[in-house]
Amino acid sequence: MLKRLHDDIRRCTRCSLHATRKNAVPGEGPVDAQVFFVGEAPGAIEDEQGRPFVGRSGVLLTELINEIGLSRGEVFITSVLKSRPPSNRPPYAWEIGACRPYLDRQLEIVNPRVTVLLGAVAITSIIGPWKVSEAHGRFYECDGRTFFMTYHPAAALRSTKVKEIMHNDFEILRRELCL
Ligand code: URA
């Protein structure tokens, strides 16, 4: 089921980003993953490789995942947008809207215990406008799903303070998951 969906995503032409991307990046992880991470959009390296979070943000995300006793191979990782916006500009609302059914379907199929929203775009797209500085470290129940909110790893690469906050947020997540 997931494979068919990901093949559809790779062929998707619902928005104009299909014309500038090298590869769509559907996401990856086991279909029975208990923890599901949602970023913003693929960057240059992800676009090259067709895989999520394989650049510098991905190195930090993997470190944070490992720190709470999980391996990258046992979680699901994707982003709100499945195609890279040119020059990594922020996603437009209509691109988020066009891609949203794919994320919804991935969540339906994987049905994780917790969905971790990484940064403002993921939080705002799924829950609604909420400052990351207020939302981070919190769980939020919505439509029968449990979401956990934190910063995007790219923000932590720019600020040691944010990086510290992310480590604390992941510790909150670890305790909730009893890992
Ligand atoms: N940032 C994201 O939000 N997603 C990726 O896949 C890579 C970087």
Task: Kindly state the percentage of the chain with pLDDT values over 90.
Answer: 98
* Position 79 in a domain: yes
Q: Within a domain: residue 165?
A: yes
Q: Which of 22, 64, 79 has the most ligand 1 atoms within 8 A of CB, as the residue to mutate?
A: 79
Hunting for tokens 């969540």 — which residue is that? 107
- Under DSSP, the state recorded for 84 is P
CATH number at residue 102: 3.40.470.10
Closest residue by Cα to residue 123 from 109, 133, 113, 112 = 133
Report the C-alpha gap between 54 and 100 in whole angstroms: 22
| pLDDT, tens only, 17-31 | 999 999 999 999 999
pLDDT tens, residue by residue, 113-161: 999 999 999 999 999 999 999 999 999 999 899 999 999 999 999 999 9
Ligand 1 atom with least separation from CA of 154? 1
> 44 lies in a domain?
yes
pLDDT at 9: 98
User: pLDDT grade, residue 178 (50/70/90)?
Assistant: confident
pTM value is 0.98
Q: Tell me whether residue 29 is in a domain.
A: no
Q: What tens digit of pLDDT does each residue of 95-118 get?
A: 999 999 999 999 999 999 999 999
Q: Is residue 30 part of a domain?
A: no
Domain count, the chain: 1
Residue 103 lies in a domain: yes
CB of 115 closer than 8 Å to CB of 125:
no
For residue 132, being part of any structural domain is answered with yes
Domain coverage including residue 161: 2-24+35-177
What gap in Å lies between CA 175 and CA 143, rounded to an integer? Answer: 23
150 CA from centroid of ligand 1 (Å): 14
In a domain, 125, yes or no: yes
